[in-house]
Amino acid sequence: MSKTIKVNTFAPAANAHGENGPEYVGNLRRGELRGIIKINKDNCVGCDTCRKVCPVGAISGGLGVVHSIREDACVACGQCLVACPFNAVEQMSFIDQVMQKLDDPKTLVVAHPAPAVRVAIAEEFGAKPGTLATEQIVNAMEKAGFVTYDINQTADQTIIEEGIEFIKKIQYWVLGKRGPEFEKASHHPFPHFTSCCPAWVKNVETYHADLIPHLSTAKSPMQMGGSIAKTWAAEFVWKKDPRDIFVVGVMPCTAKIFEAARPEFNNAWKHLVETGRIPADTPSFQDIDAVITSRDIAEIFRRKGINPLDMPKTRERSTMEIYTGAGTIFGASGGVMEAALRTAYFVLSGEELKDPDVKVVRGYQDAVVEATIPVPIKELGGKVFEVRVCVVNGALQGLETVLRRIKEDKNRYHFIEVMNCPGGCVNGGGQPVRTDGAAWLNPTLPIPVQL
């Protein structure tokens, strides 16, 4: 069994900059949330576990001294929370806000669950860790009052966006193609980094700003979904005024709370105003209105007296739950890379991979995985181009090693996937907290690389 959410959350009130406040407070912009993860000083005994697992050294305090988190340094990944053996680390929670919206008959509350959540929720209700309960979870969410929009669908769109972006880079930088369609690629050199993980993106912005041009410009699947929910889906699927739609990301990740609040992610509002679908004086709203973790949705189920394990194991999927399955593996280390490589291989070679399982990039047991994928380029008469890729599994274990390698040899990799949390999103800071040992002591997690 895992700990319940009741003892390690706090409400977000007064944590965001006011609308009329300064543009920046420290390195956080107006509107961005501060202190998403914090240490309860009444519970902290100074065991130093949290400081040892922080990927960016954002925690202050020595052995036996009450610790604290430096807000401007924190990337909100929550690894300290899942590792703390004394339950002293807390997470900002939007449970109460979501519950209020569920009780509002005017509001359509959309649950946007990530793939990793489906293998975690059951654990909160006593099932064996890793139990897959996809249909039961969706049935439970709908019983709670949500309408479901599966992130696997927007993960498919991420594959297209990020895969094509990588292909354009190959065509520009390797094949020498030029023209207006390659303008963006000309400003974004290799190596190409994934952008799905918000803790990694925040890490780049805070500590490695020189790498920003190398990041994929594709939004994460969650943010793509927020925009679509309030534009296309609002008009053609739910036939609902977008101002009455409240989109809730259901995530294995606490850094997603930060991502959703980023002020640039109000694209649906901008589009709706520009196209005249809502009045020009409509106050700005975010694409994703709130993010709750796996633990949070479990608590909502508890408050409503719903046990997902008691729900039916079958259901008929709605329009917003149809997907190819390529994004299902996003939650595990190497998943984004594997799916993107399939797309790149097909477009560049004109044929499908003979073995669609690109097992060489799966990195659950290793902090850093390197691989070379031979791709026969159709435009070059089948001449093979070797795509050099790297998968970083856990920022604490391998990131600095990989960053050192690319500084020594900028041509070492073409494509790098970074997941902040060990194993990927499946071990995110919003997942059920195991009581059989701290996460950093779990022998199933990746072993640190040798520096």
- Residues that are catalytic: 162, 165, 196, 216, 256, 259, 264, 425
Side chain identity, residue 306: I
Which one, of 293, 285, 247, 245, lies nearest residue 265 by Cα? 285
Q: DSSP code of 150? A: -
Which residues make beta-bridge pairs with 246? 109
> CA gyration radius for the chain?
22
Residue 58 contacts residue 78 (beta carbons within 8 Å): no
Beta strand 383-393 with 368-377 is antiparallel
DSSP string, 374-389: EEEEGGGTTEEEEEEE
Phi-psi region of 369 (alpha: psi -120 to 50; beta: other; left: phi over 0): beta
For strands 68-69 and 28-29, give the pairing.
unpaired
- The Cα–Cα gap between 90 and 38 comes to 5
DSSP per-residue string spanning 69-92: E-TTT-----HHHHH-TT--EEEE
Which residues make Cβ contacts (< 8 Å) with residue 25, sequence separation at least 6? Answer: 17, 34
* Angle at CA of residue 65, ends 64 and 66, nearest 5°: 125
Distance (Å, whole) CA 236 – CA 334? 34
Q: Which two tokens stand for residue 199?
A: 């803790």
Q: In terms of Cα–Cα distance, which of 292, 251, 303 is closest to 118?
A: 251
The candidate with the shortest Cα–Cα distance to 257, out of 421, 93, 87, 42, is 93
Residue 366 contacts residue 375 (beta carbons within 8 Å): no
Of 234, 237, 242, which Cα lies nearest the Cα of 269?
242
CA 52 to each of CA 80, 304, 401, 439: distance values in angstroms, whole numbers, following the listed order? 8, 37, 17, 11
Residue bearing tokens 């790297």: 390
